[in-house]
């Protein structure tokens, strides 16, 4: 992805441009102090936009929108789109939609496109990265799908599956070089972008 190097001292504040509890819990693993700010971004895909384009565009848009309101901060934006044969599968929102999604994905390979962007207006830093996770779903019965949804109710998750919970039983295989990407934030790539922005998690005083 295109990147601009910082031209001045990087701000100390770190902001996650998200209200997702999943991304918040993941970023906490780096033991950096940070705040969360909701990005005011329309997440509707553009006509003809491929899933990977949706994810990368929205990750940067979220980071930029919050960064413009907090120009001294380093801002992380992320977005994930489930990609089935080039078609976007978003958050189901309802039980009925979740059933439809899981029926469509059973026995199939879905690519979870997870993009992350890091932006700091004051230093001029802007860079992006993409993690692609290939997930093979089992040949699930209707009863298995209903039972899973009854227990986990993953209606706020792209693709209706939470791999960090019971959703792992839906799957045959996960292929990824950035393990947390499937949950919503690729931490290997995020840590590298933060290093480039001047905030190395391994050189920053960790939270107690």
Active-site residues, by number, are: 79
Both tokens assigned to 183? 């949950």
Rounded CA separation 35/15 (Å) = 5
Alpha helices in the chain (DSSP H): 21-27, 51-69, 95-105, 142-152, 187-197
**CB atoms near residue 91 (< 10 Å):** 18
Rounded CA separation 104/159 (Å) = 10
Rounded CA separation 58/80 (Å) = 9
Rounded CA separation 170/159 (Å) = 11
């Amino acid at each position: 992805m295109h990147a601009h190097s910082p031209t001045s001292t990087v701000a100390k504040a770190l902001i996650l441009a998200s209200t997702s509890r999943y991304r918040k819990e993941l970023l906490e693993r780096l033991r950096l102090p940070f705040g969360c700010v909701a990005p005011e971004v329309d997440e509707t895909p553009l006509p003809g936009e491929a899933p990977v384009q949706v994810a990368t565009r929205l990750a940067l848009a979220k980071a930029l929108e919050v960064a413009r309101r907090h120009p001294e901060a380093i801002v992380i934006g992320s977005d994930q789109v489930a990609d089935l044969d080039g078609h976007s599968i978003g958050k189901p929102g309802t039980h009925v939609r979740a059933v439809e999604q899981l029926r469509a994905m059973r026995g199939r390979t879905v690519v979870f496109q997870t993009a992350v962007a890091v932006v700091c207006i004051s230093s001029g830093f802007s860079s992006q990265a993409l993690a692609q996770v290939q997930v093979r779903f089992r040949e699930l019965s209707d009863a298995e799908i209903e039972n899973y949804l009854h227990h986990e109710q993953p209606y706020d998750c792209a693709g209706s599956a939470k791999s960090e919970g019971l959703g792992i039983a839906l799957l045959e295989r996960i292929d990824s070089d950035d393990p947390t990407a499937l949950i919503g934030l690729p931490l290997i790539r995020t840590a590298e972008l933060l290093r480039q922005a001047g905030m190395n998690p391994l050189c920053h005083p960790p939270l107690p």
